[in-house]
Every structure is written in C-alpha cells, then in structure tokens.
Amino acid sequence: MAIDCDFGHSSRHQTLDKPKVLGVLSQFFLSGFLWLVRVVTYQKNLQPASIPKDRELVPDYEITQLSNHRAPRDLHDNHRLHSLKAFDKDFQLSLQPAEDVVSPQLVLMRRRPGDVWTKELYTPKGTFLQGHVTQDPRSHVAVRELGSNQLSGAIISDGHEYKIEPVPHHIRRKMNLEGHRHHVISRRSLRSKGSHAEPLKVPGKSTEQYTTSKRTRRSLDPKVIEVMMTLDKPSVDFYGNQSMNYVLGVANMVHRLYRDKSIGFDCSFTLTKVFLIESYLAELDINLNEIGSASKYLSVFSKWFQTVNTPAGSVEHFDNAVMLTRDICGTNSCQLDGLAYFGYPCSTSLGASVNDAHGVSAAFSVAHEVAHNFGVDHDSGSCYDGFIMSAGQATGVNAFKWSACSRTTLTRVFSQVTCYDNKPPKEIILPSLPPGYEFDGDQQCKFIYGSQYTLCPVTTWCVSGHCVSVGTSLPPPINGGWGAWGPYGACSRTCGGGVRHRSRKCDSPSPQLGGKPCEGKPIGEWVICNQQDCPPGGDSYRTLQCKAKSSSYDKYYPYGDPCTLWCIEGSSATIEGYVEDGTKYDPSDPKNRDICIDGVRVAVGCDDIIGSGNIFDRCFKCKADGGSCIRKEFSYTKNWVKFGLDNADPMLELPNGTTRCVIRENSPTKNIVVMKIKNSQELIFPNAISGSKDVAGTTVHYIRGGPSSEEKMYFDGPTTQALVPLFAYFGTTNVGYTITYHEPGLAAQTAFVWKTHYTGNCSKSCAQGNDHTETSNDFNNHTYYAFYLPSVDTSSSRFE
C-alpha cells in the first residue's frame, strides 16, 4: 500500500536501510510542528501523512546519523566534536559546555486548569553545549547533549536555522533503526517576515542617566542577566509537551549570542524562572484585556510580571522578563518580531519585552529586545551593517554579532548599574554519605576518565595499570537465578478495579563470588481484580489516596502527571509521590483501561487483561471489526450572517450512539461553534474558552488557541442522546467546517483474498520437481496486512 503525499518544493524522502515495518502512526515533534509520520513497508520511505495548510511553513528535513570524534590534544578535555551529513553538506560541530544557561535553582511555574499554580525545581535533562560549525566560523550552535550521541537544539549557519532532534525510541524500534545516533534535522530560512518596531519610552521615566556619556570603566567584571521567560497559552497549546524544551532551546541560543566576543565583556544570559500558561489566566488573556497590538500586550505583560517577581538576591528573582507568544499583536495580525521598553536597566517594572514565538530563531528577537531594555538603540550610520541590533532582519556575516555602537552602549550601561553583578544563588546540599558509598568504582572511573573506562572484570585484577587474568587462583563467579513465582497476593482494592501480583526471590542460586544479580524485578505477573463498581456517592480513588496522606487535602488535582498523586489544599497543588498501584491512568476516559504501576503507565487491553493488546474498534466495541458503525463526513459551508449566539445555525444532527466525532474549522476566524443536546436550549462552550464538559454520556472537548488558531471540538462517544453543533456568526465570513463522525449501522463489507504468485521455475525438467510459491493479501491492487485474512500458509511448494 503506497501513500502519496504532495509536499511541493519542500518534499524530502529518506530511504530506510531496514524497511521491515508493518506500519507506524506516531506524533513527532519537529521544529515547532507536530508531524504525523507513517512508515510503510511497501515503499521503504519515511513520509509525513499530514501537512500544514501553509506549505511555506513546511521545513525541509532529513534523517541523519550523528558521529562523534576524539578532540585533538591541544583542545580542552571538555571539548566535543560531532559531525553529521544533511542537505548535501557536512556539518562538523565544535562544541563546549555552557554552564550558565539556566540557574541551578531554575523554578518552573505551570498554570493548570482550575485556577491552580504548580511549582517545581526544574533540572533540564542533559548538558548545554555551544559552539560553531568548523566550516563556518561565523555560525552559532546551541544544543543539549541528552545522552550518548543524542543532540537537541539548533544550528544557525549559511542563512538557515537547522533544528536537530533525536528520533524517539519507539519510532527507532518500529523502523528497525539501531543505536541512538539517528536524528531528524530540518532546515528553514532565517529570513523573517517581521521587523523590530522602535522601542517604547514611557512618559515621565527618564533614560538619560544611562544613555548619556559618562566615564566608563575600561574593564568590567563578569555580568549575569537573570531572566524570566513566559510562554503564553496559545504558544503552549501549539508546542504542547515540548513547550519547556522550546523555551530552553531559545534561552540556550540567546545565551550564545550574549557570550559572543563582539559584546566586549563577559556577559551571561541566565534563565532563573519559567512560566508555562497551560490554562486560562485572566491577567494575560488576550480577549479579556482587549489586546489588539504589541504595545498593549507589552503593557499588560509588564503589569503582570511585577506581581510574580521576588526581591533581588532571592532564588526566584529575575532582572528582565521575556514573553514568548504566537499572538504578539493579540486579536490582530501584524509583522513584528518583537517590542520592548527602551532604556530601563534594573527596572522592576519596565524591564520587559514581547517576542514572536515562531521557532528557535525567536532567540534573535529576544537578544535584540532585551538589549533595548538596557538602552541599546537600533544600529544606524557607520554601525548599520546587518548586526543584531539592526531594525530589520540581521543578515550576512554580522548577523550574530554586536556592532561597535551596541558594544559602546552596553559597556557604558553595565559599568553604571549593579543589578547584573550577582549570579543566581545556589543552595548547596552536602551529601549525607561518603562519596565512595554513593558512587561505586565504575562511576568514579567514568567521572575521571570518561564513559569508555571501567573497573577490571571480576576474573581479572589490576597489575601495572592493566587488567590481568587471575587464572585458576579464584573460583568462578556464580550468577543469580530466579526462583519460582509464589502465589498471588491480595487485591489492592475491594471494588472499582485493583491489582494483585506474585513475588519471587533471586535464590536459585543467589549471586556469589562476584556473580551477576538476577535481571528483572522480584514482583510481577500483575492481574486486574475486583472490577465491580464501588457504591455511588463516594470519593474517587485518587481523592481517597490524597485524604489518606493528609486530612487537610480537599481532593486530587486532575491535570498533573497521571501516575503522580497531586493533592489540592485550597488553591495549591502538592505532589505526594506516585499513585497506588492499579490506579486508572486516565479516570476521565472509561475506554482507557491503562493503569499505573510503580509510577509508570502500563497498557491494558479493552478486555481488561494487562498487555493483551486488544483494542476498541472505531465503534468502541472490544476486539470487533468496526462493522457496527458507518463513517460520515460533512462540510458546513453555509453563508450564515445572522449575528450572535441567539441566531446560531444548526449545522447537522449527530444521532444517539455517535462515536469519534471531530469538528474542525478550516482556518481561523472570529466565529465560534457551540453544541447542545437535541431539543435543549442550553449551549455548551458559549464563551469560546477551551475546556471539557461531560454531556450525553461522553466528554466533549473544545480547543480555541487564540485568533491565530482554528477551532476544534471533538468527543469519543458513544453518545446517549442526539447532539446538535451550531455555527455562531461573529463578523467573519464562514470559511467552512469539516465534521467527521461514526453513526450506528452496518458498514459495507470488504472481501480480502489471498493471491498466489509463482516465483520460480520447476526444480526438475522431469520426474516430479517443485515450484516455490508465495501468497499476499490483495484488494484493489493494494497490499494489506495479514490480520484481515483467515490463517493460511503463505509460503508453499507446488509439486509437478
């Protein structure tokens, strides 16, 4: 079965060396887009199966392998050399660790549904690295080393932004890609559609004390800019679970720009606090605050950030506040990269900027706008040559450098103020045990000599720096072996679905004389038990767990990590460890049978058997063939112009029993779609605010990410009542809605048959030879998977 995807000029196909893949459907994050990737055996190609509507936004991409090299002796020990090939180019990356990209006490604040803030001390995974492409000394590289031969970040070179990400493990496994070196690299032009507006000066607030000529110290002590970054809700909706990685990628590149030698002194851009606005926040809501321009958004953001800052010298303090948004002009569209207040260094109210959050190249806008906060103006005159502070797009060989004019102003300002003199505070926690106890010999070897070194094996000892066999002077080691599984223990719950397991011991034999311990876990063979419903009216299982932790908890918080117990007291949510084994992974979805065991999601089939792999069909029947419902598709294109919710037009009727319904607006408008139960007057989601609501036996979800995002409403079903979606006109011509759903009924039957292919000649010219045959499952000239067909031997010999 072949899939044909027209990608225009942006199409790239990567041939896989080992194409034995039955078919993969995976969401893959690539350069700010969620890509739907399908791998098909028939063509041996990796092909995107869904395409953004704006084809100019589709980046070129390739799959490549990363190679690392030993650094020359004249380089520092911590120097990294990596190479890769993509887009007919060789990239040799010369990298060094960057220590001050984030504070050791980086605080992450998440705005969750239910007016709840969660707070955590965030330690980014991996090591921040910065450097350049050796073939392009003017290039910039800012990545994180996530593990052995795994890089995540951006390469800025030859007028392009290259985004590099490791291929996720589950995709590597299903594509039969061996090792950890495979990466997806995308390419975009750095040419911006926007520009930098003139920075704002506040009437009555003088900036002359910093921008006028005063005596400047010839040399400056190292400076640290402590920064807070906020990703607003439309941007969090767009980047999803990659939101924090996106913020870290931008911060790493901005840090790289402020570390460039052209700035004239030692300066670090350090992230101390991050806000992810994952749910509605009135103080930053675009519609509520009537934000229709970048200057209005900057004003609203500046008022808000003052309420979340802490005193100088404290762990969470920041000097400058940065907003990353995909709606920089709010309800209106505009062509701006960023906007900032001008000339207020160390200001607790005006050290702010708003920046367009389209890709990692937002780092150039952030570096530019934060410099405006310090009092650095746009380059002009002899300094106008495409530097960072160019009013337009920084281009050419100077795009990553500070001009002499910028350097002079920055040096003058930083010699007069003191708020950038201090590093973020560290909380040093002394180990409670000696280091030799916490780090064994293998770990100590790795710390000193690198990951390729280890202790001598058990059957050798160290003589003159070499591992030498001990010969027969020691008895051989005895590796451990598991004993038999014991009986099942008691069920973890008396109702509502619990789990029980069996235990075993590593005693057949136990490891001796340096032998290996048993591999695996001492408990397992989990089964689900006591599935009958609990009596009505009681607390949920998670709420019971919270109240068992503390009587002060009111209920559980449903929006954190599903296998972590979040408990609410007042308006604060607290983590209380993992949920109890057997807790439903998603209690809001009765069709999701997965559970949590030891803090990890465990797959459960629709038949409530752990690991069975059985799933609901499209009609939500367990282990069925999808033949009890019919797929429907409807396009609503009516030119309806009666204004408001009171005049909303019914789009169609979704009958009782409807499943898998998706209503999607074809492009963003001010119009909205609402829902109601048939013969009812109550509207669902009349305020066009993203959320979920239980209705007609299912949960209806509504997503509206802002003026730059189209609407989406969906539910799984099956419904217990007929539903009616309605179109409400609010001044924009209807661009159309596409509605897909499944309604009860008998689907058309498709017959699949085995097709025989004779693959060779008879083995003998006489006296009975044989001719090898192969069979494939064909229908309408396409090849399908064998699970559609009755069992048969697909390889046989015919005797003649």
**Residue 489 · residue 475 · CB < 8 Å:** no
Euclidean distance between CA atoms 298 and 327, whole angstroms: 12
221 belongs to an annotated ligand binding site = no
Please choose, from the candidates 558, 678, 692, 697, the residue with its C-alpha nearest in 3D space to the C-alpha of residue 620: 697
**What are the DSSP calls for 713-772, one per residue?**
EEE----SS-EEEEEEBSSS----EEEEEEEESPPPP---EEEEEE-S--S-SSS--EEE
- For helices 404-416 and 362-374, what crossing angle results, to 10°? 50
319 belongs to an annotated ligand binding site = yes
Question: What phi, psi does 326 have (nearest 5°)?
Answer: -95, 0
Query: For residue 303, how many other CB atoms are within 10 A of its CB?
Result: 14
Q: Which two tokens stand for residue 646?
A: 């009171």
378 belongs to an annotated ligand binding site = yes
State the Cα angle at 143 between 138 and 148, rounded to 5°: 125
Rounded to a whole number of angstroms, the CA Rg of the chain reads 31
Residue with tokens 């030119």: 639
- Does 774 qualify as catalytic in the annotation? no
641-642-644-646 Cα dihedral, nearest 10 degrees: -150
Q: Which two tokens stand for residue 111?
A: 């705005």
701 belongs to an annotated ligand binding site = no
Dihedral sign (CA 772, 775, 780, 783): negative
782 belongs to an annotated ligand binding site = no
Euclidean distance between CA atoms 542 and 444, whole angstroms: 42
Euclidean distance between CA atoms 604 and 602, whole angstroms: 6
Euclidean distance between CA atoms 228 and 372, whole angstroms: 16
419 belongs to an annotated ligand binding site = yes
Core vs surface per residue 94-133: b (16+ CB within 10 A) or e: bbeebebbbbbbbbbbbbbeeebebeeebebeebbbbbbb
327-333-334-335 Cα dihedral, nearest 10 degrees: 80
Q: Could you tell me how far CA 322 lies from the centroid of its own chain?
A: 21
Q: Which two tokens stand for residue 791?
A: 């069992």
Which is catalytic among the residues 62, 161, 316, 369?
369
Annotated binding site for Zn(2+): 368, 372, 378
Would you list which residues are annotated within the binding site for Ca(2+)? Answer: 226, 319, 419
- Feature table: binding site: 226, 319, 368, 372, 378, 419
Catalytic residue list: 369
